[in-house]
Structure 1
């Protein structure tokens, strides 16, 4: 890690940052000459910082603040090490960190540790998840009272329509996407294909599959920071909020995963299109946990404006082969690449929590040898099926009262997340729709 700063003497400051429960980057700015201390000894800030609400405020009734004296945790660098922050004007390095207790044990309220614990459960069984993510986001001109698609830097025109899979839409923002891919290369984020999507000024970038789930979540978290920061350098906003425009589809964060055994073979590969018993058990686990864990996939008030019928987001708890109306889809293709696509999460999620929940539920299904219902064919929106919680309040209640989630999420994290969401729900009720959009546009 120290070699990075020696090789980049132009870097004068660093940022040390951890992801809180909302996926917000929390940390400090440090002159680069003191970076060695942050690497060797770590940095310190209160445990409560990882459980702030979406405004960055303490949780009013959190036991961590006054009851426990707002004690400090110790934050140490992750294995990712230093990387550039291409969205800033001055040369700056980012050092991702995660939180430990004074005695060196992981802090259970840290979402990255939650994912690491799930991955370790796979390792104990000789298994390795392989993960890829598809991240959708909007480019937005938010300089006026009404949100609109930015003017094209090439033509100066605004295309006020969805341009699904449009090369013209990609070319209109070619300078931004060229800078984005250069920045991903510099940050070692494996950005692959980009497409224009069905929303107004909406795009998707796929991140390549990775056999290190922690790194995959890091990539998604860092990518969100990068896209939002870089868009501002280009004179507009980028937002991963679930639903900025009521009349258009929202943004999802679809997760594809398979599982390798100790020999490196995909345990979902049956040699044919249907997949193995292990695949079906994993699907059953995801479906069984879906209602209780919806709050992870839809963590904000705005999230539930995306989860409506016929808007390219799932509403029914079901699965199917090559069926994008289902919450869980089994894509076609080579049997060796047989995988599960989990389609519920919005772009506004915390990638660490999302992946811990998906992989934890899948492992639960495999451990218990759960059997899924029959796969659906046709339009799942039109079928009489169990439904994903339709409101934020219902999702919070289901998450809080679940007897299942503690199998793969720490109880302290569950408690902190519920307290955070209940406080947000209380104060967001006081905001106008315009104020809610303004809140979520830059934060999530």
Structure 2
């Protein structure tokens, strides 16, 4: 509490704060409070209905949710996370964000909060003397959405628009140098460990990697906060930034790839066997991840547009397989130093909730380690061309059904979260059918 109060004293220019939690769609839900009244939130938390944590993508109540009327729309108590205050560089006026998460009246975690779902998985590793080391790679598009047709914004330097993708182009990065310079400055101010930036294979598409860290909750925080920052800062620069899975049908979509390894209590990488193969424990983690992958697809591809990305020959996996140094598979074991042996999970789109994504990835790996199962043989060559491999769900409806009835998901996620998430997605599936493709794009462009 004293650290939070001291932060405000050290930043007297901050006039307002936002307290915000991530709902099941990863949307920031919370309140705006004058800075002079922040002490009450710091000491006592704040309250809002539990139902707010599983609103649909439009921000509407879930029609058949028991949280709304059956339970009287009761409040949860939201308390600051260990992240503390941070500036909000995308706003014109000096403001601070205080991330929060939800608890019940008796102090127990609210199981419908996605951050608590990830915490629960991390505790499962901790009970076995293991700590996940995690890094994420976030792809996004810079978009001029001022007209009827989406297009890449004109370069602030040249005034020209890129007419095609420029993979790993320094020129493409330099065209938006002012934006990226401001973005890195903002990441430093918010203590988000943004590392390398590259231009990607889509029109106006870029990727920024996060540094590896031994705190998976913080890694999810970083991804969530980074998405808020990029979208807000782009608007200050006069264009949009979107993590939508596939805004352009003719170009590859945006992924949110995750690299992870595990260290023991002595800090040793338990995936490292001194060579390229990796340990038996790594194979168990791969097997568990593969086993959970089909039924977790709703987490990795949570929206109607998500399934446009998961198509053959579009730099996104479509089959459930793994391989060494192979970007056509769902789980890639990168080459390089054996001391850094790790798994790259390549299924999730940029439109995911990072807390649910990491819970599903790490939870599947943990189940494989607990069960001691072996994966199928690794794939070589083009996985898109290999027949007989199990496929990811091809449709949103299929993914919802798989998630709802999955024994694997029941091992990873609390029953209440599974119920809430399924009800949310069924409602979105129903109402999304009433929208045209352009209306869906307009909705997803800013929200996800």
TM-score, normalised by the number of residues in structure 1: 1.00
**2:155 alignment partner, one of 123, 135, 152:** 152
Three-state SS of the structure 2 residue aligned to 1:133 is strand
Runs (5+) with no aligned partner, structure 1: none
Match of 2:286 among 283, 298, 306: 283
1:352 aligns to 2:340 (yes or no): no
Match of 1:55 in 2: 58
Aligned to 2:410: 406
Equivalent residue, structure 1, for 2:426: 422
Hey, what does 1:143 align to over in structure 2?
146
**Local SS of the residue matching 1:180:** helix
In structure 2, the residue matched to 1:364 is 367
How far off its partner does 1:176 sit?
0.1
Alignment equivalent of 1:387, drawn from 369, 387, 391: 391
Give, in whole Å, the separation in 2 of the partners of 1:86 and 1:239: 18
C-alpha separation in 1, matches of 2:288 and 2:295: 12
Aligned to 2:179, which of 176, 196, 212? 176
In structure 2, distance between residues paired with 1:160 and 1:392: 32
Question: Is 1:235 matched up with 2:224?
Answer: no
Instruction: Name 1:107's counterpart in structure 2.
Output: 110
Task: Say which SS state the counterpart of residue 404 (structure 1) adopts.
Answer: helix
Count matched residues.
444
Deviation of 1:160 after TM superposition, in Å, equals 1.5
Cα deviation for residue 403 of structure 1 reads: 1.5
Structure 1 partner of 2:248: 245
Report SS of the residue matched to 1:341. strand
Tell me by how many angstroms 1:252 deviates.
0.1
1:29-428 aligned at under 5 Å gives the runs 29-384=32-387, 385-428=389-432
Cα deviation, residue 404, structure 1? 1.6
Q: Secondary structure at the match of 2:358?
A: helix
Using the alignment, how far apart are the partners of 1:152 and 1:382 within structure 2? Answer: 39
Q: Deviations over 1:218-255 (max 9, x none)?
A: 00000000000000000000000000000000000000
TM-score, length-normalised on structure 2? 0.99
Separation in structure 1 between the aligned mates of residue 436 and residue 408 of structure 2, nearest angstrom: 36
**Post-superposition CA distance 1:50-107 (Å, at most 9, x none):** 0000000000000000111000000000000000000000000000000000000000
Per-residue deviation, 1:316: 0.5
Range that drifts further, 402-411 or 95-104: 402-411
Distance 2:266 2:45 in 1: 37
Q: Which residues of structure 2 form unaligned runs of 5+? A: none
Partner Cα distance (2:412, 2:426) in 1: 22
**Which secondary structure state, in structure 2, belongs to the residue aligned with residue 209 of structure 1?**
coil
Hey, which bits of structure 1, 4+ residues long, moved more than 6 A? Answer: none
Q: Secondary structure at the match of 1:44?
A: strand
* 1-structure distance, mates of 2:412, 2:301: 18
Distance 1:404 1:220 in 2: 25
**Residues 369-426 of structure 1 deviation map (CA, whole Å, 9 limit, x = unaligned):** 1110000000000011110001000000000111121111111000000000000000
Q: Distance in 1 between matches of 2:89 and 2:198?
A: 22
